[in-house]
Structure 1
């Protein structure tokens, strides 16, 4: 469009106008051709893999065994592979082999270190000798015997079961109280949402900053914290 306007502004019959008109016509033609190419969807049939002819292997270079009795200069070129392999490819192969060797060495070192740490940890726990002694002597390790004696000294299994029942009852009571508090807070949240919908100028941060709403915000936070502690326990 700019080219056409420039041509119209040039004097009639001038070389500049003819040049601009030719360039404008060429651009218009190329634009129409591009729009046509973009609007055309070409679908070329692609044959299936089974319809394609099978590629047969071909031997490009016949392998020849080096003759015996080669000189030192000839022996350096007896292997045809290094001679045919480009220097850049040979360097890349060497680098790759070095990286693989380094990774394998690192894995071997870490595996050895982890095995030593595991053996040390087992030795501190007197394992597996302690388990083998249990099976052979029918006796528990001294440390386990002391732990059992300590548990029995506090009242035995009966006291532990009573403590477990008390903990379970307290857990149910706490869950009930948290559920009730959650329902109350949910009702207050619905009232807040209704208030925000009725008062578009009132935002939630501004609502939370009100003195009448701050206790509810603190209670919600404390309830969430106590619920997380209860679930962890």
Structure 2
């Protein structure tokens, strides 16, 4: 295989892989259609929710797997942007996005594997089950979240900027994709019902990116 053939093959793979950007946003939308009750107000309701199959599938199948798909999509977008004017920004955006999603995945894993066990323990009448929640969501996890949020937001905005600078055809869609991801994160702590809406907007923008980026 010649160098040119290898390059063309890599570009074809990246062109296919960039479709994982809207797929990732779609996973985010599905994973936030429902939200767990506030554990501090009604631990019993919270326990019943986190022990459902919907909760486990949402976190393992959509949040964790979705994050992995999203990272592949970002790397593929980077490959397509490397020859363009925003290659440096795209590289930094990819690095920050990887760090942010890895940190967030560790939090998703705690929710997916620890919360159902805590919920079952509480529903079974095990003493001290509520204190286990506080131990899991202590300073180390909160630190990981803070660092993850910082790098995720920075990576999303820089990715949007890189896409917008790559071609005028992506100026609106690129920024929309990055900003919608930031809104998705912020909405999780303010107006949670906006999360699937923001993710759906990111999904639509991601489709435009997947269609136009390879042609840039």
TM-score for both structures, normalised by structure 1: 0.25
TM-score for both structures, normalised by structure 2: 0.27
Which one has a larger percent helix, Structure 1 or Structure 2?
Answer: 2
Larger radius of gyration: 1
